[in-house]
Amino acid sequence: MTSPSRRTRLDGGLWCCGSLQTAGVTVGVVNLTCLLFLFFWLIQIVYEEAHHFFVATVVLCLLTFLFGVVNVCLVAGAVNR
């Protein structure tokens, strides 16, 4: 016998708290918030150390920008599905 279609199984019970689109948006927003808090925390640590402040700040800004773009793409992909 053939099993039910994969789409029916996925729609039926994988996520019980609304649509997967809502879950994607929620994960993206929480991820952006955590990224922002982590950025400020790391800037504070780098500022206290102050050995290579400029280089560390540039690297942190670039990484934060990269991860922010990835999270915005996640949210945009979930909304424009």
Q: Residue 55: inside a domain, yes or no?
A: yes
Q: Residue 45: inside a domain, yes or no?
A: yes
Instruction: Please state the pTM of the whole predicted model.
Output: 0.60
| Residue of 34, 64, 69, 68 lying closest to 46 (CA atoms) | 64
pLDDT category of residue 5 using cuts at 50, 70 and 90: low
| pLDDT in the model for residue 81 | 67
Range of the domain at 62: 19-79
pLDDT single digits (tens) 14-47: 667 777 788 788 888 888 898 888 888 888 887 7
Q: Residue 5: inside a domain, yes or no?
A: no
Q: Residue 40: inside a domain, yes or no?
A: yes
Do 8 and 66 contact (CB within 8 A), yes or no?
A: no
Angle 20-49/53-79 helices, nearest 10 degrees? 170
User: How many domains, in total, are found in the chain?
Assistant: 1
Q: Residue 7: inside a domain, yes or no?
A: no
Query: Looking at this protein, which amino acid is placed at residue 69?
Result: V
Residue showing tokens 């990269």: 66
